[in-house]
């Protein structure tokens, strides 16, 4: 998600200065993408790094929570459902299509065949609903998460008006209930079903991963109601580190291999830290803290980095390098991936998004980059009925 968000403060909250950019979230996107990159690097090229990078897949969880937060934070009265869907399509689909084509070329050159039968679900962003790994990871494997995002976008206009107008007490209760239900479902699944079903039910399944998306919406709703945490980015980073260490020690006790521990366990153990991290980052930005411009720029490239890196790693893995050569290869692939992400952002992602948005008369800049009057009294006066009417009118 592109997160050059602005927040405009009301006079009652001096810590949220006018025109404050939530640049910390943009910078954190790069960190989350790098976690995924390093995780795949360990899987494909550097097995020696797995003890340090084996939990990197929880970067995807960060993106799912952040997606819900950003959409709820930037939601504006007057945006129709069709316009919303088109903007989301313009945001993720062009680069997805380009990288699917690149993956097809890679498969043709490397293996002499393209799995055409698996292409329709990938193009329709439906592959994550298919349990088989050969289908959900077909072509550009990381695009399974875009299928989850597509589902989140589909339901957002119908759930957001209700979630964002709930009271603070009900919002907290709902968040606890949703998280508790996810924990109970995961526990029940693990004691009743064979392990081969766990990933399809709780890792790539959009119906389960929507938990993170909804929690992101509820967090944004709390900020919109005026809640401001008494901690900042540093506390959030410490919280994530503690949750990561907790997941690591749980693995040491029960599995002794980060790749053997069920992904759902690590995701749920780190989810509270992810929420605290996002809350702390927003709090710091609203309080006037400045972000490193280099990290912000890298964050803008993170979507492209996420989509491009695995193809480089799969190609590099075919070299079967060992020892020091594998470390050099990993570094070269990292540099190539970041360079390619910069080029894709500048020459593919942004231009195509702007072009598609202008077809419906929308601003060429993504809605997350425009000013969001998060503390406007008008937002608080907007009733559930009014918001539902706005979303459903088109």
pLDDT, tens only, 297-355: 999 999 999 999 999 999 999 998 998 999 999 999 999 999 999 999 999 999 999 99
Q: At what angle do helices 81-111 and 302-317 cross, to 10 degrees?
A: 20
Least confident interval from 67-76, 268-277, 291-300, 378-387: 378-387
Q: At what angle do helices 206-224 and 58-73 cross, to 10 degrees?
A: 50
Identify whether the C-beta of residue 236 lies closer than 8 Å to the C-beta of residue 277.
yes
* CA separation, residue 40 to residues 37, 202, 259 (Å): 5, 19, 11
| Helix locations, the chain, DSSP H | 23-44, 50-53, 58-73, 81-111, 119-123, 133-136, 144-163, 168-192, 198-202, 206-224, 233-254, 263-286, 293-300, 302-317, 324-344, 350-358, 377-381, 384-392
Give the number of other Cβ atoms within 10 Å of residue 370's Cβ: 13
pLDDT at position 387 is 44
Retrieve residue 247's tokens: 């997941």
Distance of alpha carbon 61 from alpha carbon 149, whole angstroms: 11
Q: Is the pLDDT of residue 225 over 60?
A: yes
To the nearest whole percent, how much of the chain has pLDDT over 70? 87
Least confident interval from 53-57, 230-234, 260-264, 379-383: 379-383
Question: pLDDT higher for 248 or 7?
Answer: 248
Q: Is residue 189 part of a domain?
A: no
Summarize the confidence of residues 92-107 as an average pLDDT.
98
Q: Is residue 66 part of a domain?
A: yes
Into how many domains does the chain fold? Answer: 1
Residues 310, 311, 313: CA angle, nearest 5 degrees:
60
Q: Is residue 197 part of a domain?
A: no
pLDDT at position 257 is 81
Torsion of CA 77, 78, 81, 83, to 10 degrees: -120
**What are the two backbone dihedrals, phi and then psi, of residue 172, each rounded to the nearest 5 degrees?**
-65, -45
Q: What is the pLDDT of residues 371-387, one digit of tens each?
A: 333 333 333 334 344 44
Q: Is residue 46 part of a domain?
A: yes
DSSP code string of 166-192: S-HHHHHHHHHHHHHHHHHHHHHHHHH
Distance of alpha carbon 31 from alpha carbon 291, whole angstroms: 13
- 231-255 burial, b if ≥16 CB within 10 A, otherwise e? ebbebbbebbeebbeebbeebeeee
Q: Is residue 298 part of a domain?
A: yes
pLDDT at position 364 is 63
Q: Look over the chain and give the mean of its residue pLDDT values, rounded to a whole number.
A: 87
Q: Is the pLDDT of residue 18 over 50?
A: no
Summarize the confidence of residues 65-76 as an average pLDDT.
93
Give the number of other Cβ atoms within 10 Å of residue 219's Cβ: 25
Q: Which residues contact 133 (CB under 8 A, 6 or more apart)?
A: 199
Identify whether the C-beta of residue 122 lies closer than 8 Å to the C-beta of residue 200.
no
pLDDT at position 126 is 97
Q: Is residue 270 part of a domain?
A: yes
Report the DSSP beta bridge partners of residue 138.
none
Provide the pLDDT confidence category of residue 362 given band limits of 50, 70 and 90.
low
Question: pLDDT higher for 392 or 187?
Answer: 187
Summarize the confidence of residues 197-208 as an average pLDDT.
96
Summarize the confidence of residues 253-262 as an average pLDDT.
86
Summarize the confidence of residues 246-262 as an average pLDDT.
89
pLDDT at position 227 is 92
Retrieve residue 171's tokens: 């919002």
pLDDT at position 47 is 93
Question: pLDDT higher for 4 or 368?
Answer: 368
Summarize the confidence of residues 162-173 as an average pLDDT.
91
Distance of alpha carbon 86 from alpha carbon 361, whole angstroms: 11
pLDDT at position 365 is 56
Q: Is residue 114 part of a domain?
A: no
Retrieve residue 352's tokens: 């195509």
What region, left, alpha or beta, does residue 289 occupy, with left being phi > 0 and alpha being psi -120 to 50 degrees?
beta
Provide the pLDDT confidence category of residue 259 given band limits of 50, 70 and 90.
confident
Q: Is residue 377 part of a domain?
A: yes
Least confident interval from 8-12, 98-102, 134-138: 8-12
pLDDT at position 4 is 35
pLDDT at position 20 is 60
Q: Is the pLDDT of residue 109 over 50?
A: yes
Identify whether the C-beta of residue 144 lies closer than 8 Å to the C-beta of residue 126.
no
Q: Is the pLDDT of residue 291 over 60?
A: yes
Retrieve residue 134's tokens: 């050969």
Provide the pLDDT confidence category of residue 363 given band limits of 50, 70 and 90.
low
To the nearest whole percent, how much of the chain has pLDDT over 90? 77
Retrieve residue 391's tokens: 């979303």
Burial of 36 (0-12, 13-18, 19+ CB in 10 A): buried
Q: Is the pLDDT of residue 217 over 90?
A: yes
Chain centroid to CA 109: 31
Range of the domain at 47: 6-100+149-170+206-392
pLDDT at position 229 is 94
Summarize the confidence of residues 142-166 as an average pLDDT.
95
Q: Which residues contact 332 (CB under 8 A, 6 or more apart)?
A: 316
Q: What is the pLDDT of residues 22-32, one digit of tens each?
A: 899 999 999 99
pLDDT at position 360 is 79
């Amino acid at each position: 998600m592109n997160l050059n968000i602005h927040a405009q403060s009301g006079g009652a909250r001096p810590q949220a200065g006018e025109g404050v950019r939530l640049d910390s979230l943009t910078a954190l996107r790069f960190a989350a993408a790098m976690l995924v990159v390093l995780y795949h690097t360990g899987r494909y090229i550097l097995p020696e790094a797995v003890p340090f990078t084996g939990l990197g897949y929880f970067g995807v969880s960060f993106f799912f929570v952040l997606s819900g937060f950003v959409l709820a934070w930037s939601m504006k009265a007057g945006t129709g459902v069709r316009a919303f869907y088109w903007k989301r399509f313009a945001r993720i689909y062009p680069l997805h299509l380009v990288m699917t084509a690149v993956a097809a070329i890679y498969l043709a050159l490397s293996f002499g065949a393209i799995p055409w039968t698996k292409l329709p679900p990938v193009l329709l962003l439906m592959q994550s609903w298919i349990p088989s790994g050969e289908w959900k990871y077909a072509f550009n494997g990381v695009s399974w998460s875009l299928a989850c995002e597509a589902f989140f976008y589909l339901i957002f206009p119908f759930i957001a008006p209700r979630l964002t107008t709930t009271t603070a007490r009900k919002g907290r209760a709902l968040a606890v209930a949703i998280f508790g239900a996810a924990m109970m479902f995961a526990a029940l699944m693990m004691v009743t079903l064979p392990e081969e079903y766990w990933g399809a039910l709780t890792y790539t399944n959009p119906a389960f991963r929507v938990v993170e998306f909804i929690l992101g919406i509820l967090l944004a709703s709390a900020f919109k109601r005026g809640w401001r945490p008494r901690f900042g980015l540093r506390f959030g980073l410490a919280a994530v580190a503690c949750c990561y260490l907790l997941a690591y020690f749980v693995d040491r006790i029960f599995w002794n291999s980060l790749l053997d521990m069920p992904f759902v366990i690590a995701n749920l153990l780190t989810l509270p830290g992810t929420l605290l991290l996002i809350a702390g980052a927003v709090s710091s930005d609203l309080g006037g803290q400045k972000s490193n411009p280099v990290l912000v720029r890298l964050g803008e490239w993170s979507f492209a980095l996420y989509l491009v890196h695995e193809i480089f790693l799969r190609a590099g893995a075919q070299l079967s390098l060992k020892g020091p050569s594998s470390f050099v290869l990993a570094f070269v692939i990292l540099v190539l991936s970041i360079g390619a992400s910069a080029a894709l952002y500048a020459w593919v992602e942004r231009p195509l998004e702007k072009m598609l948005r202008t077809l419906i008369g929308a601003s060429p800049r993504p809605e997350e980059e425009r000013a969001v009057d998060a503390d406007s009294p008008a937002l608080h006066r907007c009733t559930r009925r009014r918001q539902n009417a706005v979303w459903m009118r088109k």
